[in-house]
Each structure stands twice: as C-alpha cells, then as structure tokens.
Structure 1
Amino acid sequence: MTNKIAALSLLTLGLLSACSNTVTSTTPAAQERFARVALVPLEAGDTPKRLAKAVGGSVLSWNEVGCEAADEINCTAMIGLNSQVDTQNLHALRGRTMYIEPNKDVFSGGGTLTATMGGKVSIWAGGKVSIWAGGKVSIWAGGQFTQLPENTALWKKIRLEEAQRMAPNLGAGVTVAVIDTGLDLQHPAFGGSLSDPSTWYDFYAGDTMPQDEGIFGVGGYGHGTNVAGIVLQVAPGAKIMPLRVLGSDGSGDVVMVAKAIVWAADHGAGVINLSLGSEESSKVVQDAIKKVTERKVLVVSSAGNSNLSKITYPAADADAKGSGAYSLSVGSVDLNDVKSNFSNYATELKVMAPGEQVYAPAPGGLMAAWSGTSMAAPMVSGGLALALGQQAPTKDLAKELADRATDIYNISGNKPFKDKLGEKGRLDLVEFLSHASTY
C-alpha cells in the first residue's frame, strides 16, 4: 500500500484573502472511487467548475473558511483524479502548489477474528442482551465483569472496575465516532447506545446506513462492530457514532477517512476512534485530523499489526504539530504486559493496551473475539470518554493518559523494545482518572 505525497510546485503558493467565508454542504454525495486525490489551495475567483476543469478531476470538497487568514489547510479544494494531470491545465493554476497522493484502498483496518465462545460463535442470550441494552445496570459482580465474563482478566489489567466507580457517569453525554467497517446496527448490544441516526453516514456506499457488511470470518466483516462494542464495555454510558469508510475486505480510501473525520467533529463527536492505518503518511487525512483537533476533539489511532519498528499512519503522526495535544497512538500487549507478537512499536508510540482475544459483539447478534492493535485503541477511546463524561476538560487529557500508564519496560519480554512501547507503557485507567484535571 503506497501513499506517498507528490508535491507539484508551480512556482509559488499564492493565497489571496478575497475568498468568501463559505463551507460546502454537510451532506456528502454518493462516493465515487478515485485513484488519486489532490489538495489545491484556493484563490480569489476560483469556482468548483473552473478548478475541476483545470485539474481534470471531480471536486469532492470546497472549503473557503480559512481564505481570509491565508490558512492553507482551511482554504482548499479536494479533487478526485482518475487520470494523469494535464500539464497544460496545470498552467492555469497560476503558480500554486498542489499535493497529489494515492487514494483508493490506501487504508485498512487491523485485527483478526481470533476466537469464538467454546469454538463456536455464541448467540447473545439470557442476561447479556438486557445488560448491554440497559447500560446502567450493575456491570460488575463478585469481581467478574457481568456483561462479558470472558473479558474479566483484560479489564482487571487496566483496572476498569475501579475506574468505572470513579467515573459513575460511565461516559454519559460523550459521543465516540467509530470510523471503521460500520456496525451491525440492529445488534442488541447497541440498543440505546447509538447516536442520533442523523449523525450516521456510510462514506463507502454513499448512504446513511453504515451497516457492517460481508461474510462472517472473511476479511474485515465485523471489525467495526467489535471495536464499537469494546468502547461501550469501557464507557457504557457513551454514545457510538457509526461511520463506515472500510469495505467488507477491510480496506478504504483516503477521501472517505478524511471526510469521516471532519463529519464526526461537525456532528458532535468528542472522541474519534481510528482502528485503521496506512503504511505511509497522508496529508489529506492529517489535515483533517488537524482541523478537528483544533476544535479539541480527541483522536485515537491504532499502531498496526506487522510487528515492525514503525507504526502506521495516522498513529505515527499523533505528535504532529497542531494536533499532538489531542491525539494518541495505541499498540497492543498481552495479559502479561508483554508486547503482542503482532503489534508494531516505535519511539513515537504513545501508549499500549491489551489487544488479544477481546470479546465483543459480532454481526448477526453474535459474540466473538478479535486480536489486534485495533482492539487496544477503543480501550483508550473508552477511557477518554469516562473522563469527559465527568466533565474533565479536554486539554491535557491525551497527555495525562499517556503519562499515567504503567511502566512495562522492566519485563524481560519487552527488553528488545526499550522506549518503543509508549511513553510510559500500558494503559492504567485509575491512574489516568486520578490525575486528570479536576472534574
């Protein structure tokens, strides 16, 4: 998967301040798939029709909000391309710098369906459905996590029971956007736990029903359903905003991911979970993240599952100027706090969390376990939702969560990964909530 940005410099970047202060419609059209995507800075007199003709593509977004301040990120058009840019047409852009990068199937969701109950996929039955749907009934009994006893050891590792007592609102009033393969929207686990349907969108299919689609056990089908279910186990009072950007094979386009990020912030998400990644940086996606973090929306990204000393993007950009204070990257450890054999690692990595054999809802009203950094990331997203649900100020929350992690570098299995398993180590929700700003 290649996602290398090509910068076409046509002399100098000329941003004029005469652009009007307007924004495109908030309802996306059905998504046509493009081989590449371009970001073009706007100038006075530009129109979508004229710019599309000059570049030889289709205008996907048009944002003039930042033009008066000569803001390159917020004074741009996004244009989809399926053919090479004509150099004669480029001359019409009068010396602007245009960024072009690959678009189609650049991003993929991480994680693997690794286990089912007793070797079989179990139907949600008995008390489990009602416990999930209610969200407010007793979550713990006799030291066991009553919603899914199979996850008890995982939750004890990050001290979830005590954390939920410390944050009794359980994330109420907080919306977590899950940008993924969509969800099984009819699953009883999500009853009463989804955001208003007006906030949902399927950027992959271009409609308002972000339904997880596919064949169970094949590709990425069920990935988003699992991720959302993990968030709700940590913060059962939160709402999930389902946004689909990945197909049943687990892959999706740069444009879809970027649009979903901005959509999430525009529709009230306080936390955005990105259990997906690309091997190389995307300016289009990073610009979208910068836009939302400037609005104090928290963004959590998974680190990737190739056991490489290089984490995927956008996780690798979590320290980027302008967004680092509100971004977190997450890797995976096992129940012994040893780096998972699949988890990527790097000095840029912010925090680790248990990401192996995590049980959660599966499509069709079922339950199954997945393993991957994709499963570790929503634990962090849920932890942030717990703090926000107690009215903790957003500022410094990402830093506090990373700084208050449990040190795992003294474990023998982690010796080869010194300083590459988070700033401190593994997520500790109690330490995080204890030191978060007063709420």
Structure 2
Amino acid sequence: MTRTSTLLLLPLTSALLLGCNAPSSAGPEAAPDRPGYSDTRYDAVMSVEVQGDDTVAALEATLGGTVLAWPQPGCADAVACAALVGVNAAPATDPDSLIALRVAALDGRAIHVERNRDVFSGGGALTAQIGGSRNIWAGGNFLTWSGGSRNIWAGGQYQAVPENTQIWTRIRLEQAHRLTPNLGAGVTVAVIDTGLDLQHSAFQGSLSDPSTWWDFYAGDAVPQEEGTLGTGAYGHGTNVAGIILQVAPRARIMPLRVLGADGSGDVANVARAITWAAAKGAQVINLSLGSAESSKVVQDAINKVTAQNVIVVASAGNENRNRITYPAATASSGKAGERALSVGSVDLLDRKSSFSNYTKGLELVAPGEQVYAPAPGELMAAWSGTSMAAPMVTGGLALAFGQPLAVAVKDLTLKLAENASDVYNNGANQAYKDMLGVKGRLDLEAFLANSVRN
C-alpha cells in the first residue's frame, strides 16, 4: 500500500545553475560518515546547491538543519553539487513559513524543498500459506539442492521453492538459466527495502560484503528486518531478496534498509540509499516501494546512478488505479529513461492482478501473486503485490549482467519490454489495452536470447 504524500515545494531562489563552483570542502556523502544522525526523522528535506568554500557546519548553521549527504569534490552542475539537509519545524510553527525564512538566507542558490517523513511505502501483502500456516525453510541456500547437486532444475521443478514452479514456468526461467550458465555470478543487486533477515540460511553466501550494508532507517550498519511476521511490512524485504535469488541464484544481494516495520520511509533515506548502492558497486537496484507524489530528491538520485550505467527497477503500486506510483511513473522518461523500468503485476493466466496499478506509461508486468520466498525466522512465506513482480525483472537483469552482453546496457530495459509475452490477445485484458506494458508479461528466455552472447 502506498501512502499519499504532500510535497512542500518552495520557489527556487535562483534558476538552476549549469556551471556552479564545485565545493572545495569534502563532507559526508553517505550516512556512515556521521554516526548517529540518520536515525532522526525530519519533516522536510532540502536539496541545496553547495558553492565555493561552503562547509557542513556553515550550511547547518544557516538552515538550522542537519546535512544528510554532501556532494563529491569536482561535481559538475547544481544537481550534482547539492547537499541534502534534513529540517524540522518548531512546534506550532508553520513549516512552510519557517523553512522559507531559512531559504531566504541562501538567495542565489538552486534550492528545492519537499516533505520528507513517511512519503514512501513498500507495497504488497503477506498472503495465505499452504495449509494456512507458515512453512519452515528446508535448509541451505538457493544453490543447495537435493543430493548435493547444484543443478537449478531437476525434473522440471525448481527444488528450493517448488511452490513457485508455475510462476517460473510462466516466465520461462528454466530456459533462461540454460542461456545464462553463470546465473548472475559477479553481479551485485541492491535491495532498498525493509531490510532482510540477515541470518536466514537462504541468504548465507549470497549477500554482498558487510561493508556495503547500511540501515538508513535506524542509522547503523545492520539492515535487519524488525517486527512481527503478519503485521505491517515485516518480511517484505526478505521476500523481495529471496525472489531475486531464485531468478539469479549466484548474484549477491546488497541489503539497504529505508522502510520501517510498518512499511513507511523517508525521502532522504531512499535517495541516499540509491546513491550509496551505486557507489558500493550495485549494478541493479530494486525499489519495491513508491509514493503517490513525485520526489525530485529521489529522481535526482536515480538520474545520477543511471548515468553510471546502473539500472533501477521500480514497482507500480497496488491501488488498482489508472496511474502508477513514483519513481515507477518516471521510469520511461527523462534522463533515467533508458536505464529505469516500471513493473506491474499479472496472475498466472496473464490477467491483470486485481490490485495492480496500470497506465499507458507502464513498461512491463510479471506474475506478482502468491510468490513464495524466505521469511524471517527460518520460515518461508508467500506475498502478493507489484513488489513481488519487480524483483523477477531485477533478477533477470542480474542474469544478463552475469554474461557477456550482446547489447549496450542502455538497451536492456528496451529488450525486456520488446521481448515480453503479449497479454492483450487473450481477451482478459481488453479494459487495460496498452496499459500493462509495451507488450506485456516478462519472458526471460526471449529477453536473454536477444541480450546476451552464448
């Protein structure tokens, strides 16, 4: 479920400058450089152009806030040379007026302000289990199979999670694995979510180096899921990461926590996690989260990392509306368009899922109902949502990145959309014509056959 957000937008005090002076004072680009501050929740986040001899301390004193991220020396334009500043309004004070007064002190800068707290939400819902109960994980990880074999398919069935066999058959995962024998080896995928169960046996040997992890929500280096299974979004990130590893078993997951146990999260944390992921080596970023309103701060972060050949996959939202959530809504346009992708959900008959958002801007759909994966506490559970469809696409990209590519990175999202299976010729989606992707449902075999070298 995506929460509605209200953006606090103030007029720019100056036009966006194309040739700003790069900051000479290096500061904290990411959370770990300033221990303890990132567990504070802020009402608003400012993107403020940094110039000349600006320092963290001086900017904080001027704005009465906390610098959350600082640009790298040598940045080239006003967006790249922007610091993120978290600001809280005093009690009984109108935040718009208060922040406007602070911004006035920086006349001549490119400045953007928007509401920060709880703007983003993770989508999807924990659904019924086999026999109505949670299943204990069978042990081992996604590369451990019966008889000690590392064959992904035995008898045509995915052995680690056989409950997903119909889903994997639908998206032609067996054939995809034959085309990609490396199975995503050497590829790092960032899961920006509720964290995950770091101790779950399914993930042992499948996570990135701990130096790349961070919990932006709690402000520490342990992005562990917190909560009670069946309540809120607890288990959401664990499920998402587990889906990616079922598709690309030899990929590495970089766990980054930005959402609380209720599934809500702040703009600044999502943006910082995106840039952190790219800086720490992620080639694909999965965003199974969204907002009803556009966030320039998050979009700037996406623009930055996609310019570095990182691909961002975002879920479309679960309100059954003729509009999709952000940042999925901007995935097909602007600077990031070639390296970003929006994903909705269908059932096993390729019918639009009752919950999935849809629009003519949606690029792809994948099965998002009753998808089984690890759950916290050595369990296995099923979730439904566009949040479950997106990581199937993310896993497919990891498979591609694990092989020699036959196309440029910028063409991979186009190949995914063009090689999808048609969901409009079955008569069930006539009301959603051209609103469930360019062609429709993910087909990993067709995508990889046209994207990697054998």
Alignment of 1:130-279 (within 5 A): 130=140, 132=142, 134=144, 137-279=150-292
Q: Deviations over 1:189-242 (max 9, x none)?
A: 111111111111111111111111101100000000000000000000101111
Read off the aligned partner of 1:424 and give its amino acid letter. K
Question: Are the structure 2 counterparts of residues 181 and 90 from structure 1 closer, same or farther at C-alpha, using a change threshold of 3 Å?
Answer: closer
Read off the aligned partner of 1:414 and give its amino acid letter. N
- Which 5+ residue runs of structure 1 have no aligned equivalent? none
Structure 2 residue 60 is the aligned partner of structure 1 residue 45: no
Q: Does the 8 Å CA contact 1:158/1:427 hold for their aligned counterparts?
A: yes
Q: Does the 8 Å CA contact 2:46/2:86 hold for their aligned counterparts?
A: yes
Shift of 1:96: 2.5
Question: Are the structure 2 counterparts of residues 86 and 298 from structure 1 closer, same or farther at C-alpha, using a change threshold of 3 Å?
Answer: closer
Shift of 1:320: 3.0
Name the residue aligned to 1:77: 83
Alignment of 1:293-312 (within 5 A): 293-312=306-325
Quote the Cα distance in structure 2 between the aligned partners of 1:10 and 1:131: 54
Question: Are the structure 2 counterparts of residues 133 and 186 from structure 1 closer, same or farther at C-alpha, using a change threshold of 3 Å?
Answer: farther
- Which 5+ residue runs of structure 2 have no aligned equivalent? 90-94
Q: Does the 8 Å CA contact 2:78/2:110 hold for their aligned counterparts?
A: no
- Equivalent residue for 1:54, pick from 49, 54, 62: 62
Alignment of 1:302-381 (within 5 A): 302-381=315-394
Quote the Cα distance in structure 1 between the aligned partners of 2:135 and 2:64: 52
Q: Does the 8 Å CA contact 1:66/1:73 hold for their aligned counterparts?
A: no
- Equivalent residue for 1:286, pick from 299, 314, 334: 299
Matched length: 434
Q: Secondary structure at 1:132's aligned position in 2?
A: coil
Quote the Cα distance in structure 1 between the aligned partners of 2:182 and 2:452: 16
Q: Secondary structure at 1:93's aligned position in 2?
A: coil
Name the residue aligned to 1:408: 423
Identity within the alignment, %: 58
Please report the TM-score for the alignment, with normalisation by the length of structure 1: 0.95
Quote the Cα distance in structure 1 between the aligned partners of 2:259 and 2:100: 33
Shift of 1:402: 1.1
Structure 2 residue 444 is the aligned partner of structure 1 residue 429: yes
Structure 2 residue 27 is the aligned partner of structure 1 residue 20: no
Q: Secondary structure at 2:105's aligned position in 1?
A: helix
Q: RMSD value over aligned CA atoms?
A: 1.8
Quote the Cα distance in structure 1 between the aligned partners of 2:288 and 2:22: 39
Question: Are the structure 2 counterparts of residues 193 and 49 from structure 1 closer, same or farther at C-alpha, using a change threshold of 3 Å?
Answer: same
Q: Deviations over 1:46-86 (max 9, x none)?
A: 2222222222221111115455x3x1210111111111335
Read off the aligned partner of 1:106 and give its amino acid letter. V
Quote the Cα distance in structure 2 between the aligned partners of 1:162 and 1:91: 60
Please report the TM-score for the alignment, with normalisation by the length of structure 2: 0.92
